[in-house]
Structure 1
Amino acid sequence: MKRPPLLPCLPGYNFDSKIGQTKFNRSQQFDKIHDGVYYLSEKLKSGIGGESSPFTRPSRYPSIYPRGEDQVLPPWLAFDGQRLMFKAYFQETVQERWEASFQIRVVTISFFLEDGTIKVSEPAVDNSGLEQGVLIRRQRIPMPDPVRYRFYDILDLNVGKEPEFFGRVYKIVDCDKFTRRFLNRIGIPVPDPIDIPTDPYIERRKTEIFPKKPNRKIDSLGKFLKFDRKILRFYGYWDDTESEHGVIHDLEIHYYLADDTIEIKEHVPPNSGRDTGFMFLRRMKIPKFFSRIEPIGAEDPFTMLNVLGENNSKSYYVVDPLDTGRLSRDYYKDNDLIIGAQISVFGRKVVITDLDDFTKKYYSQKYGLDDFTPLERADVKKDKTTCYSVEKIIPPYNGFGSYDDSLGNCFTVTPQAPKVDFVKFYYHDKQGFDSHVLRFRAKMISNIPENSERHFIIRVYLMDDTVSVFELAPRNSGFKRCLFQKRMPVMLPGQNIYTNKKPKYYVPSDFYVGARVNLCGFHFQLTSADIYALRYMELHCDKFPKSNIKLIMEKLRKALKPIYKDFIRDYSPAPMEGDMQIWEYKKLREALCKYLGDNITEQEMITIARHYSSHEKKDFYSREYVRRLVHTELTRFLWDDLDRLTEAIHHWDRSRSGYLPRSELYTILRGCRIPIDIELLNSMLDHLHKNNEGLIDCCDLLRFMNTKIDPVTPVLPVNVKTALWWASEKEPDCGAGMDWCTFLKDLDLKDDENDESFTSAYNASEVKEK
């Protein structure tokens, strides 16, 4: 039954609104997506019988912007996690306080866009006496209207409005930046913020907690946080020459900006006769005017008048708020310290002569000073302060023990073992199959016929330059196959060892094929060397000049230049099939002995024969295979730090040339902890491109190690410690023959046309005769 709202509720004024209605079903709340699948619909639903529901809210408000063609998302998905924040307050009546009848409480109103719910929370205030926090939990808040099912929405919340939530009126005064932008975009203007009225109770509390007297404690925390670990350093001196046996003291003054304290240290020279410590004055404040030592408690910030109480645990102190009789003292500050200033350190006159760079920058920025010329010390008696180094006189060697052992006993009373060169030990100790031991075959040189036929093996240990000799005695020779000389450093012959100068010893470069050595009175001639020794000396030709092919070819070039035609005529080999001409090793030996004589050694001949061997020299592993091994190791250890390696190379390459020595690149790669073995690392450096000076191309190194650009197929991991070791490569036999054409090309003596014509004519005649 319904009636018009303006008619009285009397018989005859009511009528049935459902007269003639034929549909009485309720509308469905679920829609059908497809067969068998239903979902809860958010569309507007009609009431019973299809009539409009009086309490159905519209799904959305009209917008000033036209709706696009994109699919409209539901609000719980489009506005997920978004809310509008409003700042508001409400006035609460207080009956318990006579001085303030109300109080202002500030709250935050949150409107959640996804479902239209509202939450009201009050931020915590210290010592408020109220239970603050969430005042209204998140929910939909109905409006105080006679119409039911009407809730607060986005249009009801704005700056200046006064919504009523459950009987309490809130005044909205401000909103956050997101809320203001969101409302403006949907066409709702937002007024400017409104000031919150003052709370009389809060104002009264501020007056009560305000101190009745000023705080006498100086707050130094801010200065400490600003100037902590910032120290001004000054250099000066204290002239004490007027006193008996006085000297000029070199001082270093430290001024701490955090608390204006000063610390003074003294630079006591060695052997000055003064056994005092380096601390001249501990860290403290230095007064400008000093007359006497103040009693204990004079520097206390409070003046105590009396102690009240029954005992120590229940007593309190009465201090003098006026500090009657307290004398103010002036201390040195940073504006008193400058070059040329003279400060009084408890009666001692200290003159400042110089500053450090940080102090100069500080005074330049704060005080605008730019002249920091150091001050020279006046009246300095150099004969009293200058110390001279005295050379230690070492007694001569007496022959007991080794020289280093006897020398150590000259400096200390307690005997100590000689120090070992651990750096040399680290680089030249045995590393896997690399023994760092050079082995030579030698025979004894003696006037006794039996001794001249004895053969030995001489080992040279690179880690400490020691030498051992082992005898190879055949059967029924009358000699025993045993250790002839133990491992020990051997002195050079012909020097007086009983002096205070350290004697000289044999070094590895003194041993080469053809050399004659005197080991403890026995003369030996080195006749041959093993493959390891020859290859090691060739790889380290800077330490072994007899294996340096560049120096040897330079010696040959100077010796053969005047007789080059005779050399070509007498020793040119016969041509063979192809372009290569083979020169026998005995011809090389004969020619070098003829033209150079004693100026060339057997070691240098072997080096030439090995370098120009006729055997084809192939790389043990190709560049591509080594690159595949490197990429396999980098991928296996998940290495991806190429940017750091590039930065390190740019740091070392200060000239920006793009080339670095092998030693520096080795240091960089080891410092960046590249996860590859040393043998593989050395093999990679051997295959990189180099310039004429022998420097390695850094760009080629980065391209070689880049696993993303131009990747290669991985290979099966191998034992690189043995597979890539340089001594495991097969060496060519130097006695088979030499490449004559390559030898003449490197000799580089074909400068004039006569030589070329002579050589070509000679070769043509030889071919014609054959």
Structure 2
Amino acid sequence: MEGPRLDLILPFLPGHSFRNRCKSNFHRPQTLTYRNGFRFPQESSKIIFGPRQAEETEQLTKMVAELTYKQRVPAETTCILPKYVIFDKKVLKFNAYFKQSVLESPYERYRVRPVHILYYLEDDTMAVNEPSVKNSGMVHGTLIKRHKLPKNDQGSTWHWKDLNIAINFNCYGKVFRIINCDRFTADFLQSEGVLLNTPEEMPEDPFMASHGKYLQRETGPSPPKKFQQFLAFDRKVLRFYCLWEEPHKKAGPPRPCVVHYFLADNTLEVRAEPQVNEGRDPFYVLIRRQRLPKILKETGDALFPSCVLELTDQEVAEWLSPSDLLPGRKLLILGCTLHVCDCDEFTKKFYRIHLGITDLATIHHSEPPSAPMTKVLPPYNGFGSLEDSLQNCLFIVPQQPKKDYMKMLDNHNKVLRYSAVLDSAIAEDKGRAFIISYHLSNDTISVFEPMQPNTGRNGGRFLECTRVIKPGSSPDAPVYYNPGDLAIGATIEVFKHHFIITDADAFVLRYMESQKSLFPETFLSLQQKFNDDKASDEEAPSDDKRLVCSMPMDHQTSEANTALVEKN
């Protein structure tokens, strides 16, 4: 049993302190942490203490300080949120302007440039941004980046208490006049006791005022100028969904395309939509961006060419306009027919506002479904295996045929061996002895001829491991020999050579006995053969010269095959 700790009982005097040699944690407690760049007080449960500090802290929390007459009332703890948490994402926004001097210009002496003054309450930083004006030719954006702006040379900075409406805000030698603020800023300043001044109006820019008076002096309707049209309709494009039909019969069915009409300069382009497996070259711009004529002028000069590179207003009486591209119409463009079927929402809104057209017909063009394509495989040419030749027809880059790996693992080193004789019309070859091996892992057959003395034949390998097709089966759907076809007395044809099976290994009988439900006739023929051989061995055991016993078979492989069958 562990005794009391001496460092807690003895007084803390010189010579009475003990060092804990088992201590391995020397962390100092941390009470602050950072999350997303902000400081947060860390909870007591997450503070890392040492073993002694944790024990002393637990004892101090359980102790209650008692006074002479009564227990001390615990002080109330209040949760005080930091400033950066209370004012997170709260920004004061003031509307202001400054005047920029213009030198050496007879039309204007200064410009009025509006800005937004932003005050971030979380860290008392400020920024000045200028809103962008379209087509002004001036660079807008951030004038003063976000930081604490200096107020004077004494080192003080601007605070929200110093800001109000109708005052001048001076920063870095530039004077900004604050004229108004948004609703949130007004509510915040009033809640803090700041009295807001009366809002002011934005002064008028002298150049814009004179330019407006110049535009007002024009009387009478006048066609819009190209520059005014560009400013009014820049980046505004009408989109139509059409069908492009060429007059040639070999061009095929109408192609779906998109017509873009640019309102800035009255030009249009025709782009074909890419289709899957359409068999066309990837050139989708049918007509480049240009103005297309609708009606040509009749010229009396017979020598004037009917087709020129670039048409001008002298040769064209009327150009194509948005009113000619209404859905449901057909247009003849450069000898091809354009069927306008539909348009997008922006185009419909343009027709409704500028042309007063609200009823736009929509034509749904649906092509008849194409007949499903059937893969026609070429006939087997006899080179290589059928599965390997089939990969050339299914893939551009031929892949290796998939193998049955589970079958290969289950039947590893399992070989069925049979003795057979050659059935040939040639008298010299008739009766030649062979050994047929059937490999169960990949259903291949190999043929070996034992060497026999005084026959004039060397013997050896007659057929490598290959799958043998049954005679009469189709080359495109071949049927291969299986263990059920290798019965005693059966004749098999191996590439125009006929073999008569006369005997089998003992392993074959055990394997067929385990699979007799699949190959009943083969099992009966093997069982009958072995029974006859057993009876003949009992009658004359010394004269038995069975061919199966003289097979050049590995003894260890035969024992492994027998063990695998017994295990299964």
Flag the structure with higher strand content. 2
TM-score, structure 2 as length reference:
0.45
TM-score, structure 1 as length reference:
0.36
